Amino acid sequence: MKIIIHGGFFSESDQSHDVKIAKQNSLKEIAKTSYEFLKNHSAEETVVHAVKLLEDDLLYNAGMGSQIQSDGKIRMSASLMNGKTQKFSGVINIENVKNPIEVAQVLMKEDDRVLGGTGAKKYATENDFEDFSTEIPQRRKEYEAKLNTGGKGTVGCVALDREGRLAAATSTGGKGFELVGRISDSATVAGNFANEYCAVSCTGVGEDIVSNATAAKIVIRVTDGFSLNDAIEKTFTELKEIDGFAGAIAIDKNGNIAHQDSHPTMVFASYDGTDFEVFT
């Protein structure tokens, strides 16, 4: 069993020592708690559990920490992929739900598994998700001051369970001040992808990740026989050639863990029941 989570990148406003320590402690606690959860649950259930905890933490740009768009509203996106079943589900630009990843999880049972905007919100309401504003005072102050702290605090988790099943989940609150209707990578296979060989969650600039098809490329390369390290390295070499800004976490079917970024301040934590690896 293995688990790795990420909290996106530090924005320029996150460089204080206190924020770094807070994120480090948060990631360690969520990684450990989620690993304990993994002992008795599937990889799919675990990645949802971990991402929900990250969405509930105001330190990150997802759920309760989401950015405000150009029209003053918050719209969030999240996705889930089960590597064994090869099913992908997600919500795009959903408003007024506390945990978008949970809506994505419920969508797994549907034939239509990716919903956007008002359709996603209608589905959430019909499935008993309460109307909930994720706006926090800090984000409103930043918006009114026209201060964009950067939306690179997307969160994600990949896990390998005791049955050898892989899953990936990713959630974002957007990049802040974006055009209404903009779609990020987080609810696409470019940003979140898994099969029986590998699972990947990404963070960074959505347009760059989509242009590079980052998550899907890494997984397919592992499927085709690349080692996980070689697959992620080659994919990020190609990303850097287009000046892409991104990071990724990954686990393969053998329990190998890898992470890569094109910027030195990606934050992540992995845990295997004994040791942590944390970078902030």
The active-site residue, picked from 46, 134, 154, 170, is 154
What the block records as the tokens of 116 is 């956007």
What the block records as the tokens of 182 is 């903009």
Judge contact between 144 and 117, C-beta under 8 A: no
Q: How many CA atoms lie within 13 A of 164 on its CB side?
A: 4
Residues 6+ apart with CB under 8 A from 106: 127
- What SS3 class is residue 169? strand
Catalytic site residue 154?
Answer: yes
- What SS3 class is residue 12? helix
49/35 Cα distance (integer angstroms): 10
**How many C-beta neighbours within 10 Å does residue 118 have?**
11
174/139 Cα distance (integer angstroms): 12
- The Cα-based distances of 71 to 13, 75, 154, 180, 258 in angstroms read 23, 11, 21, 7, 38
- What SS3 class is residue 231? helix
Catalytic positions, written as ranges: 154
